[in-house]
Amino acid sequence: MNSNPQSETSAKKYGLALHTATPELGLAISNFAGDYRCHIWNLGRSLATDLHQHLVEFIQPQTWADLAFIAVAKGPGGFTGTRMGMVTARTLAQQLDIPVFAVSTLAAVAHNNSQKSISTQDIALQMPAQRGQLFGAVYAVNSNYGVTELFPDAAMTAESWQEKLESWENSYQLIEVGSELGSSVSGVLDLAYLEWKQGSRPDWSDALPYYGQHPVQGK
């Protein structure tokens, strides 16, 4: 690992984030010094065919050589979209020999929400899952303006989630997460950058998707 992270970012200044866990494609890029852009496309089923073309066009005028790291939403979310984003991020990171940060979909939403409010409450998030279940998680805003996992992303019944919330000892804000999350790609990029600044350099092979449920019924 490079002993001087700042020297790395001076040579390769940009971070790139991908969010494909829902039908919306979200891409964001920044040098964290004033140059930032983000775009969202509602691609639906055309995500598989259009992702790479949008990515190639979006990164311009920067080049792949300008990237210091890649960040990707790892789920929970749709199985096919999540897998596609993860494969793309891992492949690019391997070819470019740069780190890839896999960021929870729910953590990114929690982070974005924390930027809109000065509340010190915990942030509880629930998101529809398959087979009548839901995904639930609880995060807290931490001192470096990121989020800390208090209850990890998990698939469960609505009853189990309600029991968890009723027994939660701290006050919390409940967020119902929908199916269009492309805009939270900004949170994916922010959380990855916070880890980057702390010296984390995860290898592409360590980036794994979080599905939470088996995609095949009954498993």
| Spans of all domains in the chain | 5-105+180-206, 106-176
CA distance 59 to 27: 9
Q: What is the pLDDT of residue 7?
A: 47
Cα torsion 167, 158, 111, 74: sign: positive
CATH of 5-105+180-206, one of 3.30.420.40, 1.10.3720.10, 3.40.50.300, 3.30.200.20: 3.30.420.40
Q: Is 58 helix (H, G, I), strand (E, B) or coil?
A: helix
Q: Is 89 helix (H, G, I), strand (E, B) or coil?
A: helix
Q: Which of 110, 115, 93, 84 is nearest to 176 (CA)?
A: 110
Can you give the pLDDT of all 219 residues of the chain as single tens digits? Answer: 344 544 454 456 899 999 999 889 999 999 999 999 999 998 877 787 889 999 999 999 999 999 999 999 999 998 999 999 999 999 999 999 999 999 999 999 999 988 877 677 899 999 999 888 999 999 998 877 789 999 999 999 999 999 999 999 999 999 999 888 899 999 999 999 999 999 999 999 999 999 876 654 444
Per-residue CA distances from 65 to 69, 95, 199 (Å) = 10, 11, 20
Fold that domain 106-176 belongs to in CATH:
Nucleotidyltransferase; domain 5 (3.30.420)
Q: What is the pLDDT of residue 12?
A: 64
Q: What is the pLDDT of residue 23?
A: 87
